[in-house]
């Protein structure tokens, strides 16, 4: 089905009529032979209904009765669940029927996610800054484009922001021409870049530590679609290094004093902040972005806005410290010089954050997102964990043990870290301590793993409470809800790694099933995969819906997904108050709160697809 859907969705006119929705919803990519097999049906019946599974010849191969879940607040439906996990025969063309209702034909196969993991990683190359996107590395010729911001050199913003706050600027420029565009705009962000590159690197580090040779081989040199495909280094690491180069370039040179807002401040009536001269050496700028939003659509090479470095923050500095420390240990034998450069940047950034622990993203700028964060204990813990795992230095161990988040999981531990997101990165530190070789006592490493497993248990409990069976429960769905679900799937995957308990793998499959079509909209939220894939992301270059001379998106791009809590775009405003949380979504390029794409959303999609595609032990 995936290959058929890819042709349907992206050949010829991207605005062609789409496949109609079906009442029986399941993963539109298919189901695994040995994995769980569940479909969902919205039906008013209060009693179980008979279902039948037929093969491509129309012969009945399994039958049973639905389980009545009942009213489901997240979907707004009365839900029946169909479980045929006991059927384990590979094949294509299977169909489920319930009375007169029939599913689309679907496959049951041993491994389903090889193409998805490759395309999800390809997303990052196609969002690179500072390099042409070549036709030989992309899925269609129209996706090629000239380099955007080939010389991305900028000085500090030195004007009044939208509240009238005048920023002092700086006496230097930085060349940060590499990196990935963050989302649908042309900004590049250190906060958000950190978690995104960490997630990609964790795929490599986990596979190396646990001996998952198939995953390492899948991304070996020459396997990817990138220019660095013949340099003797993993193509996954090459892609991550493009972003690491950007993060390193955003570090402030030694001996620089900047006027910055110290401590959390609330602008007064005139919108003013108190700026204090501080030693900013080693800190990282929050972002490099345009002064004003570019129009949609605008190809990166056509961006004519003035670009600036926006003031450094403690959060950005700790993102740099964490990602660079992680990179230092991964590249230690691959490229010792690069490893040393990363470790030097990480230690200087960490020292700068300790020196300036409360510099927040407080400006009001018109051409980029803020990524403001008022609680930085999770960033401090994450960065400390990465530096300790890399160096074993006692000063990092002391700081690590002093953190209230020490060894905590997202929902368990002394002080739970909260679910993984760009603004909640504490669990990343615990994952590193649970996975990467380090100097903690074996019992402490076991505690880190136990806390991640206990959090996975919480996610499974959430799945049992949901009509659509996904490991996520919330009264309202946030901006980027699909990434929230997939980050939970990552924790479930690690819990399976640490315990071998099949329920955790099944929970990760449930998350992917939801994203790929087992949802009340009968939608695959990934371009190019499934019968009803997302087609029209909010993106300034993949903007065929907005203007015919721009391309439709490539395959492997994840939509942010349903958003019932931040409905600020023109499409979402019309839906506000009239949609159940899982249905507050529209496949419309104008719906930036629902259908934008982002590096920190595609990163967990890649992680989970790569994890699910591993052959059985």
Catalytic residue numbers read 185, 538, 587, 596
Distances (CA, A) of 342 to 100, 283, 285, 451: 61, 14, 17, 30
Task: Report the C-alpha gap between 605 and 36 in whole angstroms.
Answer: 19
Task: Report the C-alpha gap between 295 and 316 in whole angstroms.
Answer: 27
Cβ(613)–Cβ(120) below 8 Å:
no
Going by their DSSP bridges, the two strands 24-25 and 38-42 should be labelled as antiparallel
Cβ(389)–Cβ(397) below 8 Å:
no
Sign, CA dihedral 316-317-320-326, equals negative
Q: What is the CA 285 to chain-centroid distance, rounded?
A: 22
Contacts of 496 (CB under 8 A, 6+ apart): 502, 504, 505, 508
The residues pairing with 153 across neighbouring beta strands, listed in sequence order, are 175
| φ/ψ of residue 346, rounded to 5 | -65, -45
| φ/ψ of residue 549, rounded to 5 | -80, -5
Cβ-based neighbour number of residue 50 at 10 Å: 11
Contacts of 401 (CB under 8 A, 6+ apart): none
Task: Report the C-alpha gap between 274 and 262 in whole angstroms.
Answer: 8
First-last CA distance in the chain: 27
Sign, CA dihedral 347-253-304-369, equals positive
Q: What is the CA 66 to chain-centroid distance, rounded?
A: 34
- For residue 301, cis peptide bond before it (omega within 30 degrees of 0): no
Element (H, E) at 494: helix 481-499
Number of alpha carbons in the 13 Å side-chain half-sphere of residue 38: 22
Cβ(350)–Cβ(387) below 8 Å:
yes
Q: DSSP 3-state assignment of 607?
A: helix
Tokens at residue 506, please? 């099944």
User: What burial class does residue 404 get, using C-beta atoms within 10 Å of its C-beta: 0-12 exposed, 13-18 middle, 19+ buried?
Assistant: middle
- For residue 297, cis peptide bond before it (omega within 30 degrees of 0): yes
Tokens at residue 400, please? 């690590």
């Amino acid at each position: 089905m995936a290959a058929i859907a890819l042709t349907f969705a992206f050949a010829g006119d991207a605005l062609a009529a789409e496949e109609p929705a079906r009442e029986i919803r399941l993963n539109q990519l298919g189901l695994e032979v040995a994995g769980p097999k569940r479909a969902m049906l919205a039906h008013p019946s209060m009693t179980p209904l008979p279902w039948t599974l037929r093969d491509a010849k129309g012969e009945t191969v399994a039958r049973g009765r639905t389980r009545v879940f009942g009213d489901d607040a997240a979907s707004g439906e009365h839900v029946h669940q169909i479980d045929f996990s006991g059927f384990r025969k590979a094949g294509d063309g299977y169909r489920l029927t319930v009375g007169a209702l029939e599913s689309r034909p679907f496959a049951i196969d041993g491994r389903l996610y090889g193409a998805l993991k490759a395309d999800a990683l390809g997303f990052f190359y196609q969002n690179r800054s500072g390099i042409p996107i070549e036709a030989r590395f992309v899925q269609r010729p129209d996706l090629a484009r000239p380099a955007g911001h080939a010389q991305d050199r900028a000085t500090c913003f030195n004007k009044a922001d939208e509240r009238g706050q005048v920023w002092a600027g700086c006496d230097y420029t930085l060349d940060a021409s590499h990196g990935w565009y963050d989302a649908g705009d042309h900004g590049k962000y250190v906060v958000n870049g950190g978690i995104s590159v960490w997630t990609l690197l964790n795929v490599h580090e986990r596979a190396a530590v646990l001996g998952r040779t198939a995953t390492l081989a899948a991304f070996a040199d020459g396997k990817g679609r990138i220019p660095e495909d013949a340099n003797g280094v993993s193509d996954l690491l090459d892609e991550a290094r493009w972003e690491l180069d950007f993060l390193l370039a955003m570090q402030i040179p030694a001996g620089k004093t900047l006027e910055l807002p110290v401590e959390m401040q609330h602008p007064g009536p005139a919108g003013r902040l108190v700026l204090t001269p501080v030693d900013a050496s080693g800190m990282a700028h929050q972002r490099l972005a345009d002064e004003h939003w570019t129009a949609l659509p605008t190809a990166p090479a056509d961006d004519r806005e003035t670009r600036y470095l926006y003031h450094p923050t403690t959060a950005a500095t700790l993102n740099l410290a964490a990602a660079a420390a992680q990179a230092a240990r991964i590249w230690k034998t691959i490229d010792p010089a690069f490893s040393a450069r990363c470790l030097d940047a990480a230690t200087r950034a960490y020292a700068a954050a300790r020196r300036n622990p409360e510099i927040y993203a407080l400006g009001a700028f018109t051409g980029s997102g803020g990524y403001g964060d008022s609680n930085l204990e999770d960033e401090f813990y994450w960065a400390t964990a990465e530096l300790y795992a890399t160096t074993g230095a006692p000063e990092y161990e002391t700081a690590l043990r002093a953190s209230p988040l020490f060894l905590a999981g997202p929902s368990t531990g002394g002080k739970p870290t909260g679910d993984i997101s760009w603004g909640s990165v504490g669990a990343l530190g615990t994952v590193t301590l649970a996975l990467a070789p380090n100097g903690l006592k074996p019992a402490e490493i076991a505690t880190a793993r136990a806390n991640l497993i206990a959090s996975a248990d919480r996610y499974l409990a959430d799945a049992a409470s949901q009509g659509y069976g996904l490991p996520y429960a919330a009264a309202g769905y946030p901006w980027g809800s699909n990434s929230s679900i997939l980050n939970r799937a990552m924790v479930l995957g690690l819990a399976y790694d640490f315990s071998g308990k099949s329920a955790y793998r099944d929970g990760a499959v449930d998350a992917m099933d939801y994203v790929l079509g087992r949802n009340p909209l009968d939608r695959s939220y990934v371009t190019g995969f499934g019968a009803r894939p997302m087609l029209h992301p909010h993106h300034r270059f993949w903007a065929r819906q907005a203007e015919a001379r721009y391309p439709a998106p490539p395959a492997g791009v994840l939509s942010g997904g349903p958003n019932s809590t931040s409905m600020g775009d023109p499409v979402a405003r019309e839906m506000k108050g009239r949609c159940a949380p899982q249905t507050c979504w529209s496949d419309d390029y104008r719906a930036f709160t629902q259908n934008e794409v982002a590096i920190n959303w595609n990163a967990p999609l890649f992680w989970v697809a790569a994890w699910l595609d591993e052959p059985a032990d």
